[in-house]
A and B are shown apart, each in its own frame.
Chain A
């Protein structure tokens, strides 16, 4: 799906191209270019010096790093699953579904009450596989419902409006959903009841890996492969790609564009719901604001991998997770900064900003020059 995005979306042109005249100094110093150069030098220097001095302190052992990386991959898989929703919608409608994070939150938060009910009746630990299945079902169905409502109420009336309009609606919808769920389910962070089989750890590659992390990574991987096959092999998947390519032509070919768009939102919602339960396996806690940051990070993942591309979103998600887990400690401890994990959000946002400035197409996106 990467190519079609490249063609349809007028991408941000490259940073001001260098003047053709060689050797001659430009008549005036380009403000933008100068700032960009200084910015890149500062970042590279900061990262290199920080990393070197962190490694020199020797405060962290190899096992520490492996732990951090696996932790990063696990949370990255969750980002990747949410990122699928962004990427699918962007691939078809060329809009940022800013409220997708709330779709994710809705599922995880609603399933909490299913978990309470299951625990109350003792099913949660006597029949854990069934219980987890029910949790997935509740979460995925809720998220899908929210995603479909969102599409119907907030986005469909605005299809074809100038591009900023649906984005503003999406921001509004995001706020609305957050505070709706706050009203529905209370404002505090709430913990899921423990599921015994998810506790404990296995030893792999000479390091102890938490069971939950393994389940999350494998689960996300399976879902993403499933999605890839669905898009590549099925009839519905093909019509989704066709609609992404050109809506008018697709409709002339007998594809029901409206239904295809609804399907896209439904799939995005289902995956976000599944991501919600995986998130709970890792962090065990839900709150009504959790969708916002998860959403932004997933969006970053989608942009990092190249928005519109499924494989890109997967790679972007995992990379972002690892950066986030390893980055602050690796780059910042050596620079003498206390509690580097406080600055974790800066890593995600920083990557987002830098990718968009220097390579808006993302890792798997087409190089800028080739884009229309």
Chain B
């Protein structure tokens, strides 16, 4: 789409307004108020210098001014101009926030905002925080002045050359992260027997600590930028065979590292790792369905639920199979106190899930694209509502779910230790990744790719579309049920509430962030979207907000994901090329968006 040419000044004002609106958004959604007690930077005595609330505003203004001062590809402003643009952006952002404060105060005075927290909003959010406790006039001036100053700082980063700019920025972000992960890092470091008073004080990073972290990270990065190109160049010159050896040994090293990770990292991290592992497993399964076969399945959680529930029914002592007579119904007891033990249950779980996958898939797989997504969503919700209903309560436990009681069978108990479960999940993940890897370039994988590109053509080429769709659905279901089985063991209970639509969307966000069709992408996506939020518990409430924003932003700016699959990139760019050609043909007098119409009903 052709952007209108804007003067840099106008651009800066627009970016400044957007930044101001983002600031207002943060204030209005309660983030500023909530995080005002959380220190980011403190003195050595633990007195707060910078709170998280201000950090948010600071980051928004810095990012906006940095972007405004960067200029566009056509216009590269000179240094003085850049600073001017930064100041303008920051000042405008500050002014917008000040306007918001003034408007809110007027509305509250007029009695138009009547809620139970109005006094708090007025006294704390508006007066104390946003106006720095200085009244409307002086406070607004301070907001605008600070905004302009921050804008100047952000713009001046452009004056550095590229090799210096990156360490500076990465160092800044790393320092911030070290500060935010205080709850976790402090425990880990203290666990190693090292005193943390020099680093953390009253939940924030001390100034000394911040400087040390910044210098270390920036220094390491500078060293790597100097050396990195050399190493990369040498790898590129290796013969193909050696390169593949290198690649496989990297993967082997990585797996070795994963094997020793839990013993290195401790209990809390092991637990997070098992959660990440379950999501990687789910992601790999959905990746086959969505990434390879191109079927958007929003009811994926149903198979996860089937896995968890069947596991619970078969192995938990409180399952209806056991509790009726107090002993195993069918004398299948293999040493555990449940109906059967986990190892016997596992294959049954997977086979059942595959059968259910085929049963659900067969009627709906004729549907294309968005309709399929909605129907699978419907199926997922139907299953959840049925499971939660009183009707099926005798078998599935209704809203209370099925809980493993205290006398957990020994085998399951062993399994429930995070470390043990971790290895089991790791094995399953490796298996699923291997299956995916072998499938993608096989006959089946190529059939899926053809189908994804154009179903009618694929069918015309003799590919049995239904068969391959069912296959993808069944494999996805099987992998998801494995995840469900591990989940049931990990949590020790299954509730209908664990299997809401949101799980499907989370998994979808994982593979979209990582890149559809990309195996490393699933791992990266799970670490970022599942691991980080687990480590940054304070922000748990904002997790879903963040997921939503990620889905939108990735689709708009980087639809191939963070770790893209090569073929997928080509597919996505093909659309761009077609569009560009069309735009050329359409000439200049038609509005640009019109020409994209042809693309919308291709798939």
Per the 8 Å Cβ criterion, residues 153-172 of A in contact with B are 153-154, 156-169, 171-172
Closest chain-A Cβ to B256's Cβ sits at a distance in Å of: 36
Contact status B366-A12, CB under 8 Å: yes
Closest chain-A Cβ to B309's Cβ sits at a distance in Å of: 17
Closest chain-A Cβ to B362's Cβ sits at a distance in Å of: 5
- Measured in the bound complex, the distance between the Cα atoms of B591 and A31 in whole Å is 49
CB of A48 closer than 8 Å to a CB of B: no
Pick the contact of A12 from B362, B368, B385, B391 — CB < 8 Å? Answer: B368
CB of B594 closer than 8 Å to a CB of A: yes
Indicate with 1 or 0, residue by residue over A83-102, a CB within 8 angstroms of chain B CB atoms.
00000000001111000000
Contact status B378-A159, CB under 8 Å: no
- Measured in the bound complex, the distance between the Cα atoms of B591 and A286 in whole Å is 41
Contact status A32-B362, CB under 8 Å: yes
A8 and B575 in contact, given A172-B552, A342-B390 (Cβ under 8 angstroms): no
Contact status A256-B548, CB under 8 Å: no
How many interface residues does chain B have, given as a range? 35 or more
CB of B601 closer than 8 Å to a CB of A: yes
Closest chain-A Cβ to B14's Cβ sits at a distance in Å of: 13
- Measured in the bound complex, the distance between the Cα atoms of B595 and A121 in whole Å is 53
Closest to B504 in A: A171
Contact partners of B602 in chain A: CB under 8 A: 162-163
Contact partners of A1 in chain B: CB under 8 A: none
Closest to B373 in A: A167
A343 and B552 in contact, given A96-B374, A161-B599, A183-B545 (Cβ under 8 angstroms): no
Indicate with 1 or 0, residue by residue over B583-601, a CB within 8 angstroms of chain A CB atoms.
0000000110111111111
Indicate with 1 or 0, residue by residue over B209-243, a CB within 8 angstroms of chain A CB atoms.
00000000000000000000000000000000000
Contact partners of A8 in chain B: CB under 8 A: 601
Contact status B594-A248, CB under 8 Å: yes
CB of A350 closer than 8 Å to a CB of B: yes
- Measured in the bound complex, the distance between the Cα atoms of B575 and A186 in whole Å is 42
- Measured in the bound complex, the distance between the Cα atoms of B114 and A164 in whole Å is 42
Indicate with 1 or 0, residue by residue over B324-366, a CB within 8 angstroms of chain A CB atoms.
0000000000000000000000000000000000110011111
- Measured in the bound complex, the distance between the Cα atoms of B590 and A202 in whole Å is 57
A35 and B363 in contact, given A113-B114, A247-B597 (Cβ under 8 angstroms): yes
CB of A258 closer than 8 Å to a CB of B: yes
Contact status A159-B596, CB under 8 Å: yes
Contact partners of B598 in chain A: CB under 8 A: 160, 248
Contact status B382-A349, CB under 8 Å: yes
Contact status B1-A337, CB under 8 Å: no
CB of A9 closer than 8 Å to a CB of B: yes
Pick the contact of A352 from B363, B378, B389 — CB < 8 Å? Answer: B378
- Measured in the bound complex, the distance between the Cα atoms of B470 and A157 in whole Å is 33
- Measured in the bound complex, the distance between the Cα atoms of B29 and A338 in whole Å is 41
Contact partners of B111 in chain A: CB under 8 A: 117, 120-121
Contact partners of A356 in chain B: CB under 8 A: 364, 367, 371, 374-375
Interface size on A, residues (CB 8 A): 75
Contact status A32-B363, CB under 8 Å: yes
Closest to A153 in B: B552
- Measured in the bound complex, the distance between the Cα atoms of B552 and A104 in whole Å is 20
Per the 8 Å Cβ criterion, residues 479-523 of B in contact with A are 505, 508-509, 512
CB of A178 closer than 8 Å to a CB of B: yes
Contact status A31-B362, CB under 8 Å: yes
CB of B246 closer than 8 Å to a CB of A: no
Contact status B551-A175, CB under 8 Å: yes
Closest chain-A Cβ to B180's Cβ sits at a distance in Å of: 19
Contact status B552-A169, CB under 8 Å: yes
Contact partners of B410 in chain A: CB under 8 A: none
A357 and B363 in contact, given A251-B590, A346-B385 (Cβ under 8 angstroms): yes
Contact status A171-B505, CB under 8 Å: yes
Contact status A35-B548, CB under 8 Å: no
CB of A46 closer than 8 Å to a CB of B: no
Contact status B114-A172, CB under 8 Å: no
- Measured in the bound complex, the distance between the Cα atoms of B369 and A162 in whole Å is 10
- Measured in the bound complex, the distance between the Cα atoms of B548 and A153 in whole Å is 13
- Measured in the bound complex, the distance between the Cα atoms of B593 and A156 in whole Å is 9
Contact partners of B386 in chain A: CB under 8 A: 343, 346
- Measured in the bound complex, the distance between the Cα atoms of B391 and A13 in whole Å is 36
Contact partners of B470 in chain A: CB under 8 A: 31
Contact partners of B378 in chain A: CB under 8 A: 296, 349-350, 352-353
- Measured in the bound complex, the distance between the Cα atoms of B299 and A349 in whole Å is 12
CB of A330 closer than 8 Å to a CB of B: no
- Measured in the bound complex, the distance between the Cα atoms of B367 and A163 in whole Å is 13
Contact status A176-B363, CB under 8 Å: no
CB of B547 closer than 8 Å to a CB of A: yes
Contact status B31-A183, CB under 8 Å: yes
- Measured in the bound complex, the distance between the Cα atoms of B391 and A342 in whole Å is 9
Contact status B385-A299, CB under 8 Å: no
Closest chain-B Cβ to A169's Cβ sits at a distance in Å of: 5
Contact partners of A166 in chain B: CB under 8 A: 555
Contact partners of B364 in chain A: CB under 8 A: 353, 356-357
- Measured in the bound complex, the distance between the Cα atoms of B556 and A166 in whole Å is 9
CB of A179 closer than 8 Å to a CB of B: yes
CB of B115 closer than 8 Å to a CB of A: yes
Contact partners of A31 in chain B: CB under 8 A: 358, 362, 470
A165 and B555 in contact, given A12-B368, A157-B1, A353-B378 (Cβ under 8 angstroms): yes
A360 and B391 in contact, given A169-B551, A176-B545 (Cβ under 8 angstroms): no
- Measured in the bound complex, the distance between the Cα atoms of B356 and A296 in whole Å is 24
Contact status A172-B545, CB under 8 Å: no
- Measured in the bound complex, the distance between the Cα atoms of B600 and A158 in whole Å is 10
- Measured in the bound complex, the distance between the Cα atoms of B574 and A162 in whole Å is 11
- Measured in the bound complex, the distance between the Cα atoms of B108 and A120 in whole Å is 13
Give the most central of A120, A164, A174: most B CB within 10 Å: A164
CB of A15 closer than 8 Å to a CB of B: yes
Pick the contact of A360 from B294, B367, B369 — CB < 8 Å? Answer: B367
Indicate with 1 or 0, residue by residue over A318-362, a CB within 8 angstroms of chain B CB atoms.
000000000000000000011100110110011011001100100
Closest to A164 in B: B296
CB of B579 closer than 8 Å to a CB of A: yes
Closest chain-A Cβ to B162's Cβ sits at a distance in Å of: 28
Contact status A164-B370, CB under 8 Å: yes
Closest to A112 in B: B115
Closest chain-B Cβ to A7's Cβ sits at a distance in Å of: 10
Closest to B388 in A: A342
Closest chain-A Cβ to B203's Cβ sits at a distance in Å of: 22
Per the 8 Å Cβ criterion, residues 108-138 of A in contact with B are 113, 116-117, 119-121
Contact status B366-A13, CB under 8 Å: yes
Pick the contact of B555 from A172, A256, A258 — CB < 8 Å? Answer: A172
Closest to A102 in B: B548
Contact status B385-A172, CB under 8 Å: no
Contact status B505-A175, CB under 8 Å: yes
CB of B434 closer than 8 Å to a CB of A: no
Contact partners of A173 in chain B: CB under 8 A: 548, 551-552
Contact status A32-B575, CB under 8 Å: no
CB of A39 closer than 8 Å to a CB of B: yes
CB of B379 closer than 8 Å to a CB of A: yes
Contact status B31-A94, CB under 8 Å: no
Closest chain-B Cβ to A5's Cβ sits at a distance in Å of: 10
Closest to B376 in A: A353
CB of B405 closer than 8 Å to a CB of A: no
A159 and B600 in contact, given A168-B296, A352-B378 (Cβ under 8 angstroms): yes
Indicate with 1 or 0, residue by residue over A1-27, a CB within 8 angstroms of chain B CB atoms.
000000011101101100000000000
Give the most central of A16, A246, A360: most B CB within 10 Å: A360
Q: List 5 A-B contacts (CB under 8 A).
A: A120-B114, A159-B593, A165-B555, A168-B551, A299-B374
Known: A171-B551, A303-B374. 7 other contacts (CB 8 A): A95-B370, A160-B599, A161-B599, A169-B552, A172-B509, A175-B544, A248-B598
* Nearest 4 CB-CB pairings of A with B: A172-B551, A160-B596, A183-B29, A176-B548
Residues of B near any A CB (own CB < 8 A): 1, 25, 28-31, 111-115, 294, 296, 298, 358-359, 362-371, 373-375, 377-379, 381-382, 385-386, 388-391, 466, 470, 505, 508-509, 512, 542, 544-545, 547-552, 555-556, 559, 575, 579, 590-591, 593-603
